[in-house]
Amino acid sequence: MKAVTKEFIQCIQPGDIAFFYFSGHGCQMDGINYLIPSDFDLDDERSLIYGSLNAQKLISDVHRRRPGLFVLVLDCCRNNPFVDQGSLKKFLGLTSTRIKDGLAPMQAPPSTIISYACAPDETSLAGSGRQRNSAYTCFLLYYMVLPMDIKEVFQRTALDVQKSTRSRQIPYLFANCDGPAYLVGNHMGNYAAAQNFLQRRRPCVIPMKRALVIGNDSHEQNNSLLTCVNDANDMHDALQTIGFNVLCKTNQRLDDMKIATDAFIQCIQPGDIAFFYFSGHASQVDGINYLTPTDDRGITLRTIKYRTLIAQKLIHDVSQRRPGLFIIVLDCCRTGMSDDSSNVKSFFGLTSKRIKDGLAPMQAPPSTTISYACAPDQASLAGSSKQHNSAYTCFLLSYIVLPMDIKKVFQRTAIDVQKSTRSMQIPYLNVNCYGPAYIVDSFMANNPAAQNFLQRRRPCGYYPSSDERRHGIPNHQYRTNNSQCRRNTQFGMPKNYHSPNKMLVPNIRRRIVPPGFPLVASHKRHHALKDSRYQRTNLTSSFNTFRIY
């Protein structure tokens, strides 16, 4: 490596354009960058100095040859594959504070441009087995053969790398040259070899979409739910429609849930899009969220951490795989946890203050989005037998197949859920990712499979169901018979009550109302209307007076 570098320096003549590119492992000690060869054998700090290539010395030696332009590209400071945790100090076997991860910024002589694959003191992402190039080199190859200023080449590369890695890798540029500098002349804009090179290039980033969907209806001790299996199956169909590799499990025991979760985590590669969905019962103890399996009999405060799936541990394990985007959706913390009460304490038979209803808010690692079906420490509404899905999943399925930012998907879902449940259920979102994040590509906007999926969807309607809503209204009159209509006319009701566009409301001039008079204004035909048409009638604005809608 030193011999090749020396030969490269000796052939540089004054006014030449020199280009040096290094891809591999690199490190810094005392602010000096060292490029590590493949036969590197470290014994102590001295062997690092004499057994690797000094980047600062390379720049100084090239500058003595007085080139017209010197471009140095360092796509190194990768994650260290020789140790478990990727720490440079452990790789070197040293504990000195003189050694830091990544590369140190270097001073560029005149007519010199230094480009780093990542920011100083940071590590860049190493390519996986499915990626031919690293993220930085892949985008750099697209712009390198174009006739543009070399600084603009590196700036566009940096923007694409930052966008594709969701700000987990931000390239760094140090240029010390006046005016524009070109590697490709304008006369080579239609160069056939460069065009053929670009046509043969593969897309830089092809993230795999992997998802695990779990829905538990039946429980040994918990009240059985009615829509969780339907939620999981419909979510499986929606994610498959937009290109996810989905593993769907329903009514899973604890051992089966752990096996499926471990398989899901192991298949995640750096840069992938990971999606986890759970529908069922869940609880929190001491701020830790536990997802309940079907074999929940005998769970106590001591055994809950061993008999359930810990949500915080799942998020930590997935983040260790360094996915490009991780989305976790928890449509749990349902009502009806036990036969006696909807309180989670009665389900566990406990009275400890350490236990609260609903789920606790969790810290989202970088590039992670956590979506809850309801607000922290609150319980969401469980679907009834007349509803195919829960309120949250029903609206989420309508937006998740559309090519929009994932944050906007959850925000629109939350608005619809809050509106349909009359603020009885307010979803909660925790996002820790920079810029927009998409799980549906823009070219899939007219995807026939997604359109067919949306066409097959039923209207979500109102939650709770219509029967539960009407039973909750005091003195509710289901139908207005003729005798009741005749009685209403005696107390100020309009005479043309047979018109479908008129409300049967009492006359405000008459202050005396019989005790049996219904408190809710009713129309003789409004109960025959379906729920899907309920809100579109002219009755909606009048019913708001009585706080029904």
- pLDDT band at residue 537 using 50, 70 and 90 as cut-offs: very low
Q: Tell me the one-letter amino acid at 139.
A: F
**216-231 average pLDDT score:** 86
Q: Which of 28-37, 328-337, 356-365, 530-539 has the lowest mean pLDDT?
A: 530-539
Residues 345 and 493 in one domain: no
Q: What is the pLDDT of residue 286?
A: 87
Residue 533: helix, strand or coil by DSSP? Answer: helix
| 285 membership: H or E segment, kind and range | strand 282-285
Give 373-405 pLDDT, tens digit per residue. Answer: 999 888 877 766 677 888 899 999 999 999 889
- CA nearest to 43, candidates 56, 31, 52, 35: 52
Pairwise CA distance, residues 257 & 279, whole Å: 13
Please give the pLDDT value at position 65. 92
Query: Are 194 and 225 in a shared domain?
Result: no
Q: Which two tokens stand for residue 26?
A: 């690199």
Residue 113 host element (H or E): strand 112-116
Compute the Cα dihedral for 428, 436, 398, 389 and give only its sign. Answer: negative
Judge if 484 and 459 occupy the same domain. Answer: no
If one compares 178 and 529, the residue with the highest pLDDT of the two is 178
Per-residue confidence band for 250, with pLDDT thresholds at 50, 70 and 90:
very high
Q: What is the pTM of this model?
A: 0.57
pLDDT at position 462 is 66
Which range has the worst mean pLDDT, 37-41, 232-236, 368-372?
A: 37-41
| Last residue in a domain, options 440, 465, 490 | 465
With a cut of 50, say whether residue 195 has pLDDT above it.
Answer: yes
Tell me, yes or no, whether 457 and 501 share the same domain: no
For 460, residues 6+ apart whose C-beta sits below 8 A from its C-beta are 389, 391, 394, 395, 398, 416, 420
65-74, 165-174, 492-501: lowest mean pLDDT where?
Answer: 492-501
pLDDT digit string, tens, across residues 401-434: 998 899 999 999 999 999 988 888 999 999 998 7
Same-domain pairing of 385 and 277: yes
Parallel, antiparallel, or unpaired for β 325-331 and 368-372? Answer: parallel
pLDDT at residue number 129? 57
Residues 425 and 494 in one domain: no
pLDDT of residue 48: 77
- Same domain? For 302 and 436 the reply is yes
Q: What is the pLDDT of residue 514?
A: 47
Task: Kindly report the CATH number assigned to the domain that includes residue 265.
Answer: 3.40.50.1460
CA angle 233/376/250 to nearest 5° reads 20
Q: Using an 8 Å Cβ cutoff, are 400 and 354 in contact?
A: no
**3-state secondary structure labels for all residues of 201-213:** CCCCCCCCEEEEE
CA–CA separation, 65 and 61 (whole Å): 7
pLDDT at 84: 38
> 190 and 223: one domain?
no
Q: In the numeric block, which tokens belong to residue 413?
A: 């879902």
The reported pLDDT for the residue numbered 56 is 93
Least confident of 133-147, 414-428, 480-494: 480-494
Phi-psi region of 435 (alpha: psi -120 to 50; beta: other; left: phi over 0): left
Q: Tell me what the mean pLDDT of segment 63-83 comes to.
A: 78
Q: Which domain holds residue 346?
A: 209-465
Q: Rounded distance, CA 248 to CA 245, Å? A: 10
- Mean pLDDT (whole number) for 332-339: 55
Q: What is the pLDDT of residue 47?
A: 75
Is residue 114 domain-shared with residue 83, that is, in the same domain?
A: yes
Among residues 183, 200, 217, the one where a domain terminates is: 200
Q: Comparing 461 with 346, which gets the higher pLDDT?
A: 461
By C-alpha distance, which of 143, 203, 134 is closest to 169? 134
**Is 470 a residue whose pLDDT tops 70?**
no
- Residue 454: pLDDT band (50, 70, 90) is confident
Number of separate domains in the chain: 3
- The average confidence (pLDDT) of the chain is 77
Q: How many CA atoms lie within 13 A of 410 on its CB side?
A: 23
pLDDT tens, residue by residue, 83-95? 333 445 555 554 4
Q: What is the pLDDT of residue 124?
A: 78
pLDDT band at residue 530 using 50, 70 and 90 as cut-offs: very low
* pLDDT over 80 (residue 483): no
What are the tokens at 214?
Answer: 């779990």
Higher-confidence residue: 25 or 532?
25
* Alpha carbons 451 and 402: distance in angstroms, whole number: 9
Mind spelling out the 3-state secondary structure of 133-184?
CCHHHHHHHHHHCCCCEHHHHHHHHHHHHHHHCCCCCCCEEEEECCCCCECC
User: Quick check: helix, strand or coil at residue 189?
Assistant: coil
Domain boundary among 442, 465, 488: 465
Give the pLDDT of residue 546. Answer: 40
Q: Are residues 230 and 179 in the same domain?
A: no
The helix/strand/coil state of 279 is: strand
Peptide bond into 464 cis (omega under 30): yes
Are 174 and 234 members of one domain?
A: no
Residues 520 and 433 reside in one and the same domain? no
Task: Give 162's contacts (C-beta < 8 A, 6+ positions apart).
Answer: 169, 170, 171
The residue-averaged pLDDT of 278-291 equals 90
Residue 16 has pLDDT above 90, yes or no: yes
Burial profile 109-140: b = 16 or more Cβ within 10 angstroms, e = fewer: eebbbbbbbbbbebbbbbbeeebebbbbbbbb
